[in-house]
Chain A
Amino acid sequence: MIINWVDRHLKWVFTLPAVIFILLMVAYPLVYTGRLSFYEWSMSAITPPKWVGFDNYINLFQDPKFWNALKVTFYHSSASILLETVLGVAIAILFSRKFRSARFVKTVMMLPMVATPVSIALVWVLIYEPSIGILNHILVSMGFERQEWLGSVTQVLPSLIAIDVWEWTPFIALIVIAGIASLPTDPYESADVDGATSWQKLRHITLPLLMPTIITAVTLRIIDLLKTFDTIYATTQGGPNFSSQTLNILVYDTAFQNFKLGSASALLIIFFLLILSVILILTSLRKRQGDRV
Chain B
Amino acid sequence: MRTSKLAKTNYTIVNLVILLLFLFPFLWMLTGSLKSQLQVLSPNHMFVFQPSFKNYLSVFQEYDYLKYIWNTFVIATVSTLASLFLGLPAAYGIAKFNMPYFGLAILVAKIIPSITYLVPWYILFNKMDLIDSIGGMVLAHMVIGLPFIMWVMIPFFEEFPKEVEESAWIDGSSKLRTFYQMVLPVSVPGIVTSSLLAFIFSWNNFMFSLVLAGESTKTLPLAIYNFMSNTSINWGALMAAACIITLPVILIALFSQKYVVSGLSAGAVKG
Contacts and interface: CB of A to CB of B under 8 A. Distances in A.
Contacts of B108: 26
B120 A36 contact: yes
Interface residues of A, number: 89
A251 B114 CA distance: 11
B131 to A, nearest CB: 12
Nearest to A28: B120
Interface in B205-258: 206-207, 210-211, 220-221, 224-225, 228, 235, 238-239, 241-243, 245-246, 249-250, 252-254, 257
Interface stretch (A77-85, A147-155, A209-217): A209-217
Contacts of A15: 89-90, 93-94, 97, 99, 102
A114 B252 contact: yes
B265 A132 contact: no
Interface stretch (B22-30, B51-59, B63-71, B187-195): B22-30
Interface in B87-101: 87, 89-90, 92-94, 97, 99
A110 B253 contact: yes
A217 B268 contact: yes
B34 interface: no
Contacts of A117: 204, 206, 221
Contacts of A27: 105
Contacts of B94: 15
B113 A264 contact: no
Nearest to B97: A11
Contacts of A101: 15
Contacts of B242: 116, 119, 122-123
A29 B117 contact: yes
B265 A174 contact: yes
Contacts of A12: 93
A22 B147 contact: yes
A191 interface: no
Contacts of B241: 119
Contacts, number: 260
B182 interface: no
B164 interface: no
A175 B268 contact: yes
A192 interface: no
B113 A248 contact: yes
A15 B90 CA distance: 4
A18 B245 CA distance: 31
Contacts of B119: 29, 33, 36, 255, 261, 264-265, 268
Interface in A41-66: 43
10 pairs of A and B residues whose beta carbons are closest in the complex:
A18-B90, A14-B93, A119-B242, A14-B89, A29-B120, A15-B93, A32-B120, A118-B221, A11-B97, A18-B86
Given A108-B23, A126-B40, A223-B111, 16 more contacts: A14-B90, A15-B94, A19-B102, A19-B105, A26-B112, A30-B117, A113-B264, A116-B245, A117-B206, A119-B224, A120-B25, A126-B235, A126-B239, A174-B261, A230-B221, A276-B111
Interface of A: 3-4, 6-7, 10-15, 17-19, 21-22, 25-30, 32-33, 36, 43, 91, 94-95, 97, 101, 103, 105-120, 122-127, 132, 134, 137, 166, 170-171, 174-175, 178, 212-213, 216-217, 220, 223, 226-227, 229-230, 233-234, 248, 251-252, 255-256, 261, 264-265, 268, 271-272, 275-276, 279, 286
23 contacts: A7-B174, A11-B99, A17-B86, A18-B86, A22-B146, A22-B147, A26-B112, A33-B119, A43-B123, A108-B22, A110-B260, A111-B23, A112-B25, A114-B252, A115-B246, A119-B245, A123-B32, A126-B239, A132-B235, A134-B46, A174-B265, A223-B111, A256-B211
